[in-house]
Amino acid sequence: MNENLDHILSEVRNHVSSAPTREELERLRVHYVGKKGVITSLLHQLKDLPAEKRKEMGARLNDVKTDVEKVLKARQSELNRKALEDQLNSAPALDLSLPGQYATSAGALHPVTRVMEEFIQIMKRIGFSVATGPEVELDYYNFEALNTPEHHPARDMQDTFYIEPPILLRSHTSPVQIRAMKNKKPPLQIIAPGKVYRSDYDMTHVPMFHQIEGLMVDEHISFADLKGVLHYLVKDLFGARPLRFRPSYFPFTEPSAEVDMQCISCRGSGKECRVCKSTGWLEIGGCGMVHPNVFRSVNYDPDKVSGFAFGMGMERIAMLKYGIDDIRSFFENDLRMLEQFSC
Ligand code: FA5
Same domain, 44 and 148: no
Among the listed residues 12, 5, 47, 42, the one whose alpha carbon sits nearest the alpha carbon of residue 28: 12
Counting ligand 1 atoms within 8 A of each CB, the residue from 172, 221, 227, 253 with the most, and so the one to mutate, is 172
Average pLDDT over residues 310-330: 92
Confidence band (pLDDT; 50, 70, 90) for 231? very high
Q: Does 280 contact ligand 1 (Cβ within 6 A)?
A: no
Give me the pLDDT at residue 274, please: 78
Instruction: Check whether residue 135 and residue 205 sit in a common domain.
Output: yes
Tell me the CA–centroid distance for residue 312 and ligand 1, in Å: 6
CA-closest candidate to residue 210, choices 116, 101, 137: 116
H helices of the chain, in order, are: 2-17, 22-33, 38-45, 51-90, 111-125, 139-142, 175-183, 223-238, 292-297, 314-322, 335-338
Is 175 inside a domain boundary? yes
Alpha carbon nearest to ligand 1 atom 2, residue: 172
Ligand 1, atom 30, residue with closest C-alpha: 205
Residue minimizing CA distance to atom 24 of ligand 1: 313
**Which has more pLDDT, 341 or 271?**
271
- Whether 154 has a pLDDT exceeding 90, the answer reads no
Percent over 70 (pLDDT), the chain: 99
| DSSP three-state, residue 281 | strand
| Same-domain check for residues 224 and 333 | yes
- Residues 6+ positions from 2 with CB-CB distance below 8 Å: 57, 60
Is 94's pLDDT higher than 80?
no
pLDDT exceeds cutoff 90 at 158? no
The answer to the question of residue 203 being in a domain is yes
Contact assessment for residue 42 and residue 98, using Cβ atoms and an 8 Å cutoff: no
Tally the domains of the chain. Answer: 2
Higher pLDDT pick, 267 / 306: 306
* Mean pLDDT value of segment 115-122: 97
DSSP string, 64-78: HHHHHHHHHHHHHHH
| Residue 326 CB coordination number (10 Å) | 12
Q: Residue 317 CA: which ligand 1 atom is closest?
A: 23
pTM flag (> 0.75): no
Answer yes or no: is the C-beta of 254 below 6 A from any ligand 1 atom. Answer: no
Give the span between the Cα atoms of 174 and 172, in whole angstroms: 6
Last residue of a domain, one of 56, 90, 124: 90
Looking at the domain assignment, is residue 40 inside a domain? yes
- Better-predicted residue by pLDDT, 157 or 14: 14
Q: How confident is the model at residue 282 (pLDDT cuts 50, 70, 90)?
A: confident
Ligand 1 centroid from CA 53, angstroms: 94
Residue whose Cα lies nearest atom 20 of ligand 1: it is 285
Report how far ligand 1's centroid is from the alpha carbon of 285 (Å). Answer: 6
Query: What span, in angstroms and rounded, lies between the C-alpha atoms of 141 and 124?
Result: 25
DSSP state of 93: P
Does 178 share its domain with 36?
A: no
pLDDT of residue 57: 87
Query: In the predicted model, what is the mean pLDDT of the chain?
Result: 92
Three-state secondary-structure class, residue 31 = helix
Cα distance between residue 104 and residue 91, in whole Å: 27
The CATH number linked to 307 is 3.30.930.10
Same domain, 116 and 183: yes
> Same domain for 75 and 122?
no
- Does 100 reside within a domain? no
Higher-confidence residue of 51 and 196: namely 196
Q: Is residue 102 part of a domain?
A: no
- Quick one: pLDDT at residue 1? 60
Which residues make Cβ contacts (< 8 Å) with residue 127, sequence separation at least 6?
A: 189
For residues 183 and 217, the answer to whether their CB atoms sit within 8 Å is: no
**43 CA from centroid of ligand 1 (Å):** 85
Ligand 1 centre to CA of 174 (Å) is: 10
Predicted confidence at residue 342, as pLDDT, reads 75
111 lines ligand 1 (CB under 6 A): no
Please check the confidence at residue 77 and state whether its pLDDT lies above 70. yes
Share of the chain above pLDDT 90, in %: 62
7-to-1, 59, 275 alpha-carbon distances in Å: 10, 17, 97
What is the domain extent for residue 231? Answer: 111-341
Are residues 275 and 169 part of one domain? Answer: yes
Q: What type of residue sits at position 10?
A: S
Q: Model confidence over 233-268: pLDDT tens digits?
A: 999 999 988 999 999 999 999 999 999 999 888 889
d(CA 142, CA 121): 26
Give, using CA atoms, the residue closest to atom 13 of ligand 1. 158
- CA atoms of 323 and 40, how far apart (whole Å): 83
Question: Which of 298, 339, 336 lies closest to 179, judged by CA?
Answer: 298
Evaluate if residue 278 carries a pLDDT over 80.
yes
CA 172–ligand 1 middle distance (angstroms): 7
| Section 60-76 average pLDDT | 90
The answer on 136 and 83 residing in a single domain is no
pLDDT value of position 312: 97
Clarify whether residues 296 and 164 are in a common domain.
yes
Ligand 1 contacts CB of residue 172 (under 6 A): yes
Q: What pLDDT sits at residue 125? A: 97
Verify that 151 and 226 share a domain, yes or no. Answer: yes
Mean pLDDT of the region 203-229 = 96
93 C-beta neighbours (distance < 10 Å), count: 5
Which residue's C-alpha comes closest to atom 28 of ligand 1? 205
The pLDDT of residue 91: 81
Residue located nearest, by CA, to atom 17 of ligand 1: 285
Q: How far is the CA of 19 from the centre of ligand 1 (A)?
A: 79
Instruction: Indicate whether 295 belongs to any domain.
Output: yes
pLDDT at 124: 98
> Between 133 and 273, where is the model more confident?
133
Q: Is residue 7 part of a domain?
A: yes
Ligand 1 in reach of 148 Cβ (< 6 A): no
Sign of the Cα torsion 322, 328, 333, 336 reads negative
For 148: left if phi > 0, alpha if psi spans -120 to 50, otherwise beta; the answer is beta
d(CA 284, CA 260): 6
Q: Which helix (H) or strand (E) holds 216?
A: strand 208-218
More confident of the two residues 251 and 100? 251
Average pLDDT over residues 195-211: 94
Q: Would residue 98 count as lying in a domain? A: no
* 139 and 82 assigned to the same domain: no
Shortest-distance Cα residue to atom 27 of ligand 1: 205
Q: Ligand 1: which of 250, 282, 315 to mutate, judged by most atoms within 8 Å of the beta carbon? A: 250
Residue type, position 314, single letter:
M
Beta carbon of 214 within 6 Å of any ligand 1 atom: no
pLDDT greater than 70 at residue 2: no
The closest residue, in CA terms, to atom 22 on ligand 1 is: 313
